[in-house]
Amino acid sequence: MEQSEAPDLVVLCTVLNEAKAYIMRGFLESEGIPCQLENISFHAEPAPVADLMKVRLWTLREDAERARRLLEECSP
């Protein structure tokens, strides 16, 4: 039985706003670039943790350059 290779994923960026991460993922997927989100938030309530909430946006290595370019074009 042959073992299939895992896809070669890379971290495209880390976003401090979960809603923004979902918007970015939706935009990239609409451009044909599959993405995954990984929530790496640190939860220490009731302390304010706004600066500790992070989401990593992953994509295939082969799509990373195009994805970064598209995101840069949309940045203000």
Angle between helices 61-74 and 18-30 (to 10 degrees): 110
What pLDDT band is residue 12 in, cutting at 50, 70 and 90?
very high
Average pLDDT of the residues in 1-26: 84
Beta strands in 1-76 (DSSP E): 9-15, 35-39, 55-60
* CB proximity list for 52: less than 8 A, separation 6 or greater: 41, 42, 44
Ranges assigned E (strand) in 3-64: 9-15, 35-39, 55-60
pLDDT in tens, 35-74: 999 987 655 555 555 556 789 999 999 999 999 999 999 8
Domains of the chain by residue range: 9-64
Q: Which of 76, 43, 65, 56 is nearest to 15 (CA)?
A: 56
